[in-house]
């Protein structure tokens, strides 16, 4: 009698299916309702107390994270306001220096005793104002 040749089962297909399975929560498929007699069971009581302890620890961690978040949010708002003030003073400084220099340069095109002194003094005043705005920013 000849025995039929049977392919050897390596079980690779079954292992591949199990290797892709990652259990998320071991209690996810359990029934959620508890009867009064279930609550009298010491194992159920210990399990519930353990879960309550885990949740309390998690809540305290999240409260700490929330507190730190609000502190960082306040610091961020303060820094953003400082940047806005800094940018406004830089624009004022640049404007005063460029317009003041331009007016002093235009003053050479006119006679000093006619209109040149107006451009020269206006440019000088704008340059001084720009330097004062920079000094105010540093203090």
Question: Do the domain assignments include residue 29?
Answer: no
The structural domain count of the chain equals: 1
CA atoms within 13 A on the CB side of 138: 7
| More confident position, 135 or 63 | 63
Question: Do the domain assignments include residue 16?
Answer: no
Range of the domain at 65: 35-138
Check: pTM over 0.75? Answer yes or no. Answer: no
pLDDT tens-digit map of 46-67: 988 999 999 999 999 999 999 9
pLDDT at 83: 81
pLDDT tens-digit map of 94-107: 999 999 999 999 88
What is the C-alpha to C-alpha distance for residues 39 and 8, in angstroms, rounded to an integer? 50
């Amino acid at each position: 009698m000849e025995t039929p040749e049977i392919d050897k089962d390596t079980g690779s297909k079954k292992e591949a299916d199990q290797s892709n399975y990652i259990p998320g929560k071991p209690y996810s498929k359990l029934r959620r309702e508890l009867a009064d007699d279930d609550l009298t069971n010491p194992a159920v009581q210990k399990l519930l107390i353990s879960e309550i302890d885990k949740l309390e620890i998690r809540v305290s961690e999240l409260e700490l994270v929330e507190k730190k978040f609000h502190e960082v949010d306040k610091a961020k708002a303060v820094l953003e306001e400082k940047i806005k003030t800094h940018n406004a003073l830089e624009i004022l400084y640049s404007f005063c220096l460029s317009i003041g220099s331009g007016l002093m340069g235009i003053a050479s095109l006119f006679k000093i005793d006619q209109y040149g002194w107006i451009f020269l003094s206006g440019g000088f005043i704008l340059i001084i104002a720009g330097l004062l705005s920079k000094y105010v920013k540093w203090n």
